[in-house]
Amino acid sequence: MDDKSASFTRLSQTEFGTMPETGEKVMLYTLRNRNGMEMSVMNYGGIIVSVRVPDKSGRVEEVTLGYDSLEAYIRNNPYFGAIIGRYGNRISNGSFTLEGRKYTLPANDGTNQLHGGPKGFDKVYWNIAVADDSSSLKLTYHSPHGEQGYPGNLSAEVQYALTDDNEIRIDYKAATDKATVVNLTNHTYFNLTGDPSRNTILDHTLQISADSFLPVDQRLIPTGKLQPVSGTPFDFNTPAVIGQRIEDDNEQLKMGGGYDHCWVIRNHDGSLRKVATLTESRSGRKMDVLTTEPGIQFYSGNFLNASIVARQGPCGKRAALCLETQHFPDSPNKPSFPSVVLKPGETYTSTTVYKFSVVE
């Protein structure tokens, strides 16, 4: 398929709904490449609504969880495909101290704040501009001082690009007028089989380039220590089938109800490089994850359940997984972790790439 084909359209737009409080029109933008791959994004939450990818036979199928209506996302969305901010993952006791001042955040995960709070970036309206060549989308959002308890007026920008190499590239950027904390990520749920209503992610094979991970307490807050993965079910340096380990008699697996932990990327230097690979043998699909971030949160869909009915049907436990590139959870309260502080005059930047292919 090439650009001159009458059947090929790089970008299309359709109306997806209306924001209930403001009346703003929500549009669905669908990017396509020459290989038949598609990615759809909407204004609400900057959500990746759909990703359709060819398998080893060339059959294009959906590989993410999502809904077919805006109403469903507003009613019950376990962060399907969303931009997460200001702070991805958990902040202990919904508070942190910055430059001598304590900030209290609204809790939405027991005593913790999770993924930016009750109305994080996943639930706000993002302005979307289409690139001149229709290969990417630039999303922008202004988060006012005090929103969800965070200091500073924050200008956030996220660019989604779909390349002809079957890459989804996500570039994050942010600036503030007052010292704050920032940790942006994306929460897309993947199942490479193309049918998550019938096939879980337990037969997927995962590889993660990490010598250690962050053990958590009963609230899923990191203890602050780094634990070697060697000799544990957390060692994915050699590709391993997820289902062969997830039920191991391991205290940390029991704590999270499965995998819901952050791996510490080996030899992190801020450059963009491959940190994980996910494969599924029946479809032959493969997804490499590249990032500039120091950590990757592997979440094995432990809290999904049949009451969540996505476009493909009920989403039972482990119907899909997330590989969220990010700084470490609870970093604002862990001085030994890499800093997440952003100050006036600085620019927060981060890049992640999800590259799809088929197993050779």
Catalogue the active-site residues: 187, 324
How many residues make up the chain in this entry?
Answer: 360
Tell me the C-alpha distance between 251 and 245, whole Å.
13
Q: Which distant-in-sequence residues (6+ apart) come within 8 Å of 328 by Cβ?
A: 89, 214, 222, 262, 264, 294, 295, 334, 337, 338
DSSP 214-253: --B-TTS-B-S--EE-TTSTT--SS-EEGGGTTTSS-HHH
Rounded to 5°, angle at Cα 176 from 49 and 145? 80
Distances (CA, A) of 257 to 112, 219, 249: 18, 12, 11
Q: List the structure tokens of 280.
A: 């599924």
For residue 70, give the 3-state DSSP assignment: helix
CB–CB of 285/199 below 8 Å?
A: no
